[in-house]
Amino acid sequence: MATRRSCREWVVQLLFQLDLNATENLDSVFAAFWKGKRVDRKGKLFTEDVVRGVRGDLANLDAYIAKVAEHWAIKRMGVIDRNVIRMAIYEMRHMEDVPPIVSINEAVDIAKYFSNKESGKFVNGILDRARRDLEKPSRRAGRGEKV
């Protein structure tokens, strides 16, 4: 069974790919990505749902990120950083079962893993600012975090 951490790492990998090689045919991107990977149905669904959600709301997410990331144009951000931020803000705004603090912590760890230590600080600063705009508690969620 895939953990949500693994799923989030896959989300970032897919968003990175789509950021650099944009396509409307997500099904073919997913098919190629999953080839040779051992992943359960729930893990695939979570990953694909988040990727589709981010891509479907990309203009709104980027506009919001531009608002909270003062003095940073979205295109100036590192590709990993901006896609980690997109994923986390999507989760915080649209996934009721994920506490914002979990989205932030996971995003910071993933940014440090795929990019560098400084990326973790950058991502944390932007996401903490975004968290203040939310109307839901930072540490509680509706049903708990499960894939």
Residue 88 lies in a domain: yes
- Considering only residues 11 and 96, tell me which one the structure prediction assigns the higher pLDDT: 11
Q: How many domains does the chain have?
A: 1
The answer to whether the beta carbons of residues 123 and 129 sit under 8 Å apart is no
Please work out, in degrees rounded to the nearest 5, the angle formed at the alpha carbon of residue 134 by the alpha carbons of 130 and 124: 30
Residue 62 covered by a domain: yes
Answer whether residue 10 is part of any domain. yes
Q: pTM of the predicted model, to two decimals? A: 0.89
Separation CA 79–CA 93 (nearest Å): 21
In tens, the pLDDT along 71-105 reads 899 999 999 999 999 999 999 999 999 999 999 99
104: its two tokens:
């932030």
CATH (domain of 99): 1.10.940.10
Whether the Cβ atoms of residue 78 and residue 114 lie closer than 8 Å to each other = no
- Side chain identity at 9, as an amino acid letter? E
CA geometry: angle 26, 44, 97, nearest 5 deg: 110
- Reported as a single tens digit per residue, the pLDDT across 27-74 is 999 999 999 999 999 999 999 999 999 999 999 999 999 999 988 999
